[in-house]
Amino acid sequence: MMRKLSDLEIRAMLLAANSVRDSAQREQLISDLQNSTVEEQSNGEIITFHIQGYSRPEYTGQHEFESVDGFPLEGKVADAAGNEVAVWLFADTNNRILEIELNNYTGDIPLPVTWDKFKLI
């Protein structure tokens, strides 16, 4: 089901976007976040972005955004059970946001996460 990002999700993703190393990619990511709808897949473990007016290229892989410290841009949140959940932001070949992946390392499907507790790692 397609939906807009919640206010808490937007705040968390803007925190992440402001940590992107390349200024052009940072500005594009901020714009894309504001002009997207999302679709949850794999029981909410993947949040796929659909950017208004953008035709995504054929899928040839994905990569993480690079943070200001040169490492992949990653974060963490907790799920409703209190498990730590890793958050990865992936881009397509044009450096446009493709998806967010959530992993709680327990092998279980992450329960709803508390985006207001999002932190960069």
State how far the Cα of 49 lies from the Cα of 111, in Å rounded to an integer: 20
State how far the Cα of 84 lies from the Cα of 96, in Å rounded to an integer: 27
Q: Which of 38-47, 85-94, 111-120 has the highest mean pLDDT?
A: 85-94
Q: Is the pLDDT of residue 105 over 90?
A: no
How far out from the chain centre does Cα 43 lie?
A: 16
Q: What percent of the chain has pLDDT over 90?
A: 79
pLDDT at residue number 81: 85
53-62, 89-98, 110-119: range with lowest mean pLDDT: 110-119
Burial readout 63-90 (b: 16 or more C-beta within 10 A, e: otherwise) = eebbbeeeeebbbbbbbeeeeebebbbb
Structure tokens at 30: 């901020």
Model pTM score: 0.90
Q: Is the pLDDT of residue 51 over 80?
A: yes
Question: DSSP assignment, residue 53?
Answer: T
Task: Kindly list the distances between the CA atom of residue 95 and the CA atoms of 16, 17, 72, in Å, as whole numbers in the listed order.
Answer: 15, 12, 13
Query: What is the domain partition of the chain in residue ranges?
Result: 2-52+67-120
Q: Is the pLDDT of residue 111 over 80?
A: no
State how far the Cα of 73 lies from the Cα of 95, in Å rounded to an integer: 13
